[in-house]
Amino acid sequence: MGSKLSIFINGSPSMEFGVHRSLHQGDPFSPFLFYIVMEGLSILFKRASNSSLFKGINCGNGMHLIHLQYTNDTLVLVLMASI
């Protein structure tokens, strides 16, 4: 019998779905998968910022931070734009 998993979407749990195969901590493919997913997320953050859906943090000297990534950690720095 496989494992079942659900995720939170807007504070409510989703329907459960089966997990058949997965990567484990220490798997050599794990860092590559993280990089691929985070690169896509980074592009989405930049597009959202460019379309004024949210703003990053202005650090001066023309530096504008939306998110920081290091190894397997991500810190999102956003100010929600008023609608």
Predicted confidence (pLDDT) per residue in 62-72, tens digit: 777 787 777 66
Q: What is the pTM of this model?
A: 0.55
pLDDT recorded at residue 82: 57
Q: What are phi and psi of 38, to 5 degrees?
A: -70, -30
Using alpha carbons, list the distances in angstroms from residue 21 to 2, 3, 7, 44. 9, 9, 17, 27
Number of domains in the chain: 1
Local confidence band at 1 (pLDDT 50, 70, 90 cut-offs): low
User: Higher confidence at residue 34 or residue 23?
Assistant: 34
Query: What pLDDT was estimated at residue 69?
Result: 76
What backbone torsions phi and psi does residue 43 show, to the nearest 5 degrees?
-65, -40
Task: Supply the range of the domain harboring residue 60.
Answer: 3-80
